């Protein structure tokens, strides 16, 4: 046996029990009480929780965007992930006009593979169907292990937006091939109209980033995406939901029996649009922006009620000097914030403080993303699965600071946030990658997760 974790409290999405876990060749081989086999390494987890590693289903590493490239490489982003108890990250390669899906994915994989410190998977963003020929590549992409595609309903000027016909074609082809379509929903025409108006009026502070993309701008696009998914009976995953009206529409569609999943992010659970009035408001600029208190309350209610399916981060940090490009014009601020290292501890802290159960935190951050996206070896602690394991100290207090994070960015929106309980060790397929504040993993250890299509 390679590893024996003794006497921890095991938490899955459904259960809580005291047991030992045995690991060999990267897999969980046995879970039981008083396991006595010989192991190369024994870890005593008395008083600690033992959890499945988190899956951050939404990151943008080394992403060319906003006139620059996001500040975390595959190396630093996955190093930070390991230190936050995230054992798999999903990244979003962007297929550009004239390019193929596998061509796009393989180019990113070539960069990611030697750098990844945790396991990784790809959703592929589709921006152009290349006259329809790209649709013929979906089945190959699915066979390769990329079983989700993404459409942006925004970012027209950036050449990433798709029109409704393209969206419907993607929805249908994804359904036919056992894949799922992810959507970034905001209405681009309304955003452009608002931006033009505000800039003409000299309204250039980050507050106008929010006012150019308020609640109803997201809600319209959410509802449009839901409408098309329902109309063609295709599965849909709404990324980074931040508004109450869209959330209610998604929940209504789910409850009517449609296969619709909702993701939100810690920043929408923690902050409101008031952050854009702060002196450092530009650091919080991301899209969609944080919304008002009513939306925040609705998101928490859905987290508690079980109607949100996943929490992921949209991790896309930029350095301060890049955020400063927008000091006098909010449209020049690169969109995105840090989060991958904070995801699991944030949701587990909410559990520790009694807002949700630990089972629910595990469901949102690990079990559900594994199920929705076909990571059959991930997301739970049972014999036969990958030994992606987090040992968590519920009594440890950590105050987040850029100084104790493990990314390459120079500031974080989470600065000063107090976290109750914290991961003390992270294992990826049985290998220790994080130990009590320190990264102890290895670039290149992380593997591509070949995912299974829907049946």
For residue 244, the minimal CB distance to ligand DUC (Å) is: 19
For ligand DUC, the closer CB: 390 or 413: 413
Report H helices in 72-206.
74-83, 101-112, 138-144, 164-176, 188-200
> For tokens 């591509």, what's the residue?
448
- Asked if 287 interacts with ligand DUC (CB under 6 A), we say yes
Query: What's the token pair of residue 404?
Result: 């104790």
For residue 287, the minimal CB distance to ligand DUC (Å) is: 4
- Give the residue, chosen from 184, 282, 296, 429, that forms a contact with ligand DUC under the rule CB under 6 A: 184
For residue 150, the minimal CB distance to ligand DUC (Å) is: 10
| CB-based contact 367:22 (threshold 8 Å) | no
For ligand DUC, the closer CB: 135 or 286: 286
Site for ligand DUC in 62-121 (CB under 6 A): 65
For residue 123, the minimal CB distance to Zn ion (Å) is: 10
Binding partner at 286 among Zn ion, ligand DUC, none, C-beta below 5 to 8 Å by kind? ligand DUC
- Give the residue, chosen from 60, 224, 244, 360, that forms a contact with ligand DUC under the rule CB under 6 A: 60
For ligand DUC, the closer CB: 314 or 386: 314
- Give the residue, chosen from 6, 48, 123, 184, that forms a contact with Zn ion under the rule CB under 5 A: 184
Site for Zn ion in 277-316 (CB under 5 A): 314
Site for ligand DUC in 317-376 (CB under 6 A): 335-336
| CB-based contact 141:176 (threshold 8 Å) | no
Dihedral sign computed on CA atoms, order 320, 326, 330, 331: negative
Report H helices in 187-288.
188-200, 207-212, 215-231, 244-255, 266-270
| CB-based contact 441:430 (threshold 8 Å) | no
For residue 421, the minimal CB distance to ligand DUC (Å) is: 28
CA–CA separation, 230 vs 239, rounded Å? Answer: 17
For ligand DUC, the closer CB: 281 or 336: 336
- Asked if 371 interacts with Zn ion (CB under 5 A), we say no
Closest CA to 333 of 289, 288, 402, 286: 286
CA–CA separation, 166 vs 155, rounded Å? Answer: 15
For Zn ion, the closer CB: 83 or 125: 125
> For tokens 């939901």, what's the residue?
241
- Asked if 224 interacts with Zn ion (CB under 5 A), we say no
Q: Which stretch binds Zn ion (CB under 5 A): 23-31, 69-77, 179-187, 196-204?
A: 179-187
Long-range contacts of 195-201 (CB under 8 A, 24+ apart): 195/331, 199/329, 199/331
- Residues that bind ligand DUC in the complex, under the rule CB under 6 A: 60, 65, 184, 286-287, 314, 316, 335-336
């Amino acid at each position: 046996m390679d590893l024996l974790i003794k006497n921890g409290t095991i938490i899955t999405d459904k259960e809580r029990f005291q047991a030992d876990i045995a690991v060999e060749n990267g897999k969980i081989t046995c879970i039981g009480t008083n396991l006595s086999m010989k192991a190369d390494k024994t870890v005593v987890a008395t008083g600690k929780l033992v959890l499945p590693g988190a899956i951050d289903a939404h990151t943008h590493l080394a992403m060319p965007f906003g006139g620059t490239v996001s500040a975390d490489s595959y190396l630093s982003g996955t190093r930070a992930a390991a230190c936050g108890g995230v054992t798999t990250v999903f990244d979003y390669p962007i297929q550009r006009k004239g390019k193929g899906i596998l061509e796009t994915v393989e180019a990113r994989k070539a960069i990611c593979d030697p750098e990844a410190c945790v396991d990784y998977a790809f959703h592929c963003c589709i921006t152009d169907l290349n006259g329809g020929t790209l649709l013929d590549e979906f089945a190959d992409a699915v066979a390769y292990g990329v079983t989700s595609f993404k459409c942006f309903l925004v970012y027209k000027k950036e050449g990433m937006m798709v029109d409704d016909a393209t969206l419907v074609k993607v929805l249908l082809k994804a359904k036919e091939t056992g894949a799922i379509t992810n959507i970034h929903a905001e209405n681009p025409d309304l955003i452009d109209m608002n931006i033009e108006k505000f800039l003409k009026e000299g309204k250039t502070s980050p507050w106008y980033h929010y006012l150019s993309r308020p609640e109803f701008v997201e809600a319209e696009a959410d509802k449009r995406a839901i409408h098309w998914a329902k109309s063609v009976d295709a599965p849909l995953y709404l990324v980074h939901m931040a508004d109450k009206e869209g959330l209610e529409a998604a929940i209504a569609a789910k409850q009517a029996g449609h296969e619709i999943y909702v993701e939100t992010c810690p920043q929408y659970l923690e902050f409101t649009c008031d952050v854009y009035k702060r002196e450092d408001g530009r650091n919080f600029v991301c899209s969609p922006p944080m919304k008002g208190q009513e939306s925040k309350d609705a998101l928490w209610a859905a987290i508690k009620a079980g109607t949100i399916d996943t929490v992921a981060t949209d991790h896309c940090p930029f350095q301060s000097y890049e955020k400063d490009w927008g000091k006098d014009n909010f449209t020049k601020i690169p969109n995105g914030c840090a989060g991958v290292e904070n995801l699991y501890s944030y949701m587990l802290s909410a559990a520790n403080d009694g807002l949700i159960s630990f089972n629910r935190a595990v469901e949102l951050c690990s079990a559900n993303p594994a199920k929705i996206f076909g990571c059959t070896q991930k997301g739970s602690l049972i014999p036969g699965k990958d030994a992606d394991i987090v040992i968590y100290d519920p009594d440890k207090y950590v105050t987040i600071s850029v100084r104790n994070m493990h990314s390459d960015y120079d500031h974080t929106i989470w600065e000063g946030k107090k976290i109750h309980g914290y991961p003390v060790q992270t294992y990826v397929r049985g290998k220790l990658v994080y130990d009590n504040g320190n990264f102890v993993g290895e670039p290149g250890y992380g593997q591509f997760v070949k995912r299974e299509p829907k049946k």
